[in-house]
């Protein structure tokens, strides 16, 4: 069976050019705290987005790579609602996907919820929560800065 991490990376790479032509690509970096085992470190996120015409909603795909012992990944499809405000406004969203966040290195379903607020042109502060839903999965929290290209 093909390696799931390689498949997720290939999908993310394929989405990047499409997103750049659509509504955008953004990169985020920040701190990550996970459970089972408890670890603190960093994480990097790459997100593609496309607006749904005539609605304040966007669909996006996000790849999250923890920079902690044991590594892992989460690949999620997400819906983001736009609420307005200054510097690009505040936003909230949720998504589902697949990931390997547990210490046992077994992939499974992942859910995420997130919120962010623009703090400067093209820059926002974002908070995310991840939950690996299979037995033995982990929960994680991310807080970081997102740059929209």
pLDDT digits (tens, 9 = 90+) for 74-121: 999 999 987 665 556 789 999 999 998 876 778 899 999 999 999 998
Dist. CA 9–CA 116, nearest whole Å: 25
Quick one: pLDDT at residue 3?
53
Contact assessment for residue 135 and residue 104, using Cβ atoms and an 8 Å cutoff = no
Distances (CA, A) of 66 to 24, 35, 42, 46, 92: 23, 13, 6, 12, 21
17 pLDDT higher than 60: no
12 pLDDT higher than 90: no
pLDDT band at 145 (very low <50, low <70, confident <90, very high): very high
The burial of 13, by beta-carbon neighbours within 10 Å (0-12 exposed, 13-18 middle, 19 or more buried), is given as exposed
Quick one: pLDDT at residue 95?
97
Dist. CA 32–CA 62, nearest whole Å: 16
Quick one: pLDDT at residue 23?
66
Q: Among 71, 68, 61, 60, which residue's Cα sits nearest to residue 5?
A: 71
Contact assessment for residue 127 and residue 115, using Cβ atoms and an 8 Å cutoff = yes
Contact assessment for residue 45 and residue 64, using Cβ atoms and an 8 Å cutoff = yes
Six-digit token pair at 123? 């820059």
φ, ψ (nearest 5 deg) of residue 90: -95, 155
Is the overall model pTM greater than 0.85, yes or no? no
Instruction: Write the pLDDT tens digit of every residue in 19-50.
Output: 333 368 999 999 999 887 788 899 999 999 88
51 pLDDT higher than 90: no
Please give the residue range of the domain that contains residue 42. 4-148
CB neighbours of residue 118 within 10 Å: 18
CATH number at residue 131: 2.40.160.20
Q: What's the number of domains the chain is made of?
A: 1
């Amino acid at each position: 069976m093909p390696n799931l991490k390689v498949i997720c990376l290939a999908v993310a790479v394929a989405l990047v050019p499409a997103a750049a032509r659509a509504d955008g690509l953004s990169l985020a970096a920040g701190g990550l705290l996970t459970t089972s085992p408890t670890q603190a470190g960093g994480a990097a996120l790459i997100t593609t987005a496309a607006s749904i015409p005539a609605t304040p909603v966007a669909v996006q795909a996000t790849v999250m790579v923890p920079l902690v012992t044991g590594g892992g990944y989460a690949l999620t499809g997400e819906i983001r609602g736009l609420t307005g405000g200054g510097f690009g406004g505040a936003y909230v969203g949720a998504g589902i996907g697949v990931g390997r966040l547990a210490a046992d290195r077994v992939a499974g379903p992942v859910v995420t919820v997130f919120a962010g607020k623009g703090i400067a042109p093209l820059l926002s502060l974002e908070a995310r929560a991840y939950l690996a839903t299979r037995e033995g999965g982990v929960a994680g929290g991310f807080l970081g800065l997102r740059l929209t290209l």
